[in-house]
Chains A and B, each alone.
Chain A
């Protein structure tokens, strides 16, 4: 097992975070965000590190992580394509976007491409219903999508990954 540890900057951010809440536990969600960034995803070792750091039980941390859908979990590709499939997006063709991506990438929902680049998921409303259909890729929203836009996005991300610029 490798020894995980926050970088100096991350530790500083964590310590600042603690000053914003009356108790440590309240800083758990923001701390998990730091861990997600530092360790790329929240695998068991990352969760254990956070638990030890904050003096919480690993079970408590696991319980919190699994309650929420947005944390980056183990096994997610470099780019997590999250297609909104709630009603407003569905009314404007999110099904086609999903089917197109699935065919293009050769993966089903929840699956990651063999090269580890893309994970495809369906998610619930992302508060961007006026630009339906839309998807979230890592931190960014891609809105008002046509199937052509989707193709361009995938091409661009592949190039970005090749150039080593992937997040």
Chain B
């Protein structure tokens, strides 16, 4: 099956980030069509029909999310574009923002027209200075061309877009954390409900969408919902950016139809496991996803298939580990991350991520006991579903699945197990710095 990239078609072309290039390749025609030819409600129906599902991690149907926003309200409505991209293993939104920022802006125009929004913020993580500069200059170009501001395409539609820099905090990728941060606060998540669609930014109805999600909209309008649905599996259709990193020959962002087989992705697109080594494990959806054992990797990369396979598509950050990977070491790395990034509001998360790191650290040093593995599951059990946001769950999933699927390696680190190879000090050569 041959598939031509849609979202990253021009990424390697010179000046692909400029408005002249973008317009020269049909850019902004779909936004114009939306504003001239589409009634907002019909547009929402069309996006519903396309079954576009959020690319930020949760996979919620985009059109359905839009339809939750009240039509009649005396409050302003907002779009908050999630460009925080901080899930370990994920680097796709960056490609769009750096090489094709106008594609994102056109997507923003279409969604704002559909939902009746006049103000959008793009929340980009602070570290991405290049992406920020690209977006700021794209906005300037779009304002100068009359595509943003007042009276867009001769209509009375008005739209302002502001690029807002974050400052380094994983939790600001979680939608309510992002909104809190946008309000000028410490980026701590809030309890839902109320959902952002009803009470979000500045207490007003707010749509939160991921960069890649919005970048699909011009294509949906151009080719129609039916065509979009003909790509990939019915329940989660469309083109998808897969981020592959770790032990493969050719890491990178690969645009393929949703549902590509994971082994095909690794072996055919990414040149296989590096150095001719064997595959040991894959995390398919960013570090918050359950790890897959090599035996489980013959699975399709879409929302339903991965859920059935005991993991999740998440952000489609595919982290590949070869046969030499020390799984205790790898898990310790992940646990340090979540402990560092917990915002500290909820006791199960603040304390739980700390305990998980401590226990895995002890195992890593060869000072663990086999009862420690049960303690890990006990701690996870007290974290999952018991906190304000799902960062706690995101920390628990890798902990449980690593130990479940590579138990022997963990037991080997315990001083009192049959399989013990543990010594009093740490083993040599690990992935942890």
CB distance from A142 to the nearest CB of B (A): 12
B116 within 8 A of A: no
The residue on B at minimum CB distance from A61 is B184
Known A20-B160, A90-B431, A139-B129; judge A129-B88 contact (CB<8 A): yes
Known A129-B245, A136-B127; judge A68-B166 contact (CB<8 A): yes
B251 within 8 A of A: yes
B89 within 8 A of A: yes
Known A125-B89, A127-B125; judge A67-B170 contact (CB<8 A): no
Residues of chain A with a CB closer than 8 A to B325's CB: 91
Contact with A along B243-269 (1 / 0, CB 8 A): 111110001110000000000000000
Distance between Cα atoms of A23 and B252 in the complex (Å) = 41
A28 in contact with B90 (CB, 8 Å): no
- How many B residues have CB within 8 A of the partner chain? 57
A158 within 8 A of B: no
Of the candidates B76, B185, B319, the one having the most CB atoms from chain A within 10 angstroms of its own CB is: B185
B391 within 8 A of A: no
Distance between Cα atoms of A68 and B177 in the complex (Å) = 12
The residue on B at minimum CB distance from A23 is B202
Known A87-B287, A87-B319, A136-B127; judge A63-B88 contact (CB<8 A): no
CB distance from B56 to the nearest CB of A (A): 13
Known A70-B126, A130-B253; judge A91-B246 contact (CB<8 A): yes
The residue on B at minimum CB distance from A67 is B186
CB distance from A106 to the nearest CB of B (A): 18
Distance between Cα atoms of A70 and B165 in the complex (Å) = 11
Of the candidates A29, A83, A85, the one having the most CB atoms from chain B within 10 angstroms of its own CB is: A29
Known A124-B341, A140-B129; judge A68-B169 contact (CB<8 A): yes
A26 in contact with B168 (CB, 8 Å): no
B69 within 8 A of A: no
Partner of B246, one of A27, A92, A136: A92
Contact with B along A131-152 (1 / 0, CB 8 A): 1100010011100000000000
B405 within 8 A of A: no
Contact with B along A1-40 (1 / 0, CB 8 A): 0000000000000000000111101111110110000000
A94 within 8 A of B: yes
A130 in contact with B251 (CB, 8 Å): yes
A20 in contact with B243 (CB, 8 Å): no
Known A87-B334, A91-B246, A95-B431; judge A29-B186 contact (CB<8 A): no
The residue on A at minimum CB distance from B185 is A64
B243 in contact with A130 (CB, 8 Å): yes
The residue on A at minimum CB distance from B133 is A139
Residues of chain B with a CB closer than 8 A to A20's CB: 160, 162
Contact with A along B82-115 (1 / 0, CB 8 A): 0001111111011000000000000000000000
B247 in contact with A68 (CB, 8 Å): no
B169 in contact with A69 (CB, 8 Å): yes
Partner of B88, one of A64, A83, A87: A87
A70 in contact with B168 (CB, 8 Å): yes
Distance between Cα atoms of A32 and B162 in the complex (Å) = 16
A127 in contact with B433 (CB, 8 Å): no
Residues of chain A with a CB closer than 8 A to B94's CB: 127-128
A67 in contact with B169 (CB, 8 Å): yes
The residue on B at minimum CB distance from A97 is B433
Distance between Cα atoms of A139 and B86 in the complex (Å) = 17
- Chain B residues 167 to 220 lying within 8 A of chain A, measured CB to CB, are 167-170, 181-187, 202
| Residues of B near any A CB (own CB < 8 A) | 76, 85-91, 93-94, 125-130, 160, 162, 164-170, 181-187, 202, 243-247, 251-253, 283, 287, 317, 319, 321, 325, 330, 333-334, 337, 340-341, 430-433
10 closest A-B pairs by beta carbon, nearest first, are A70-B168, A68-B167, A129-B245, A28-B184, A90-B431, A69-B168, A88-B245, A67-B186, A130-B251, A70-B126
Query: A63-B186, A91-B321, A130-B245 known; 16 other A-B pairs, CB under 8 Å?
Result: A25-B185, A29-B166, A29-B167, A30-B165, A33-B167, A68-B187, A70-B126, A85-B432, A85-B433, A87-B337, A90-B431, A91-B245, A124-B86, A127-B127, A132-B245, A140-B129
A-B contact pairs, 5 of them (CB 8 A): A29-B165, A68-B126, A85-B433, A87-B88, A124-B337
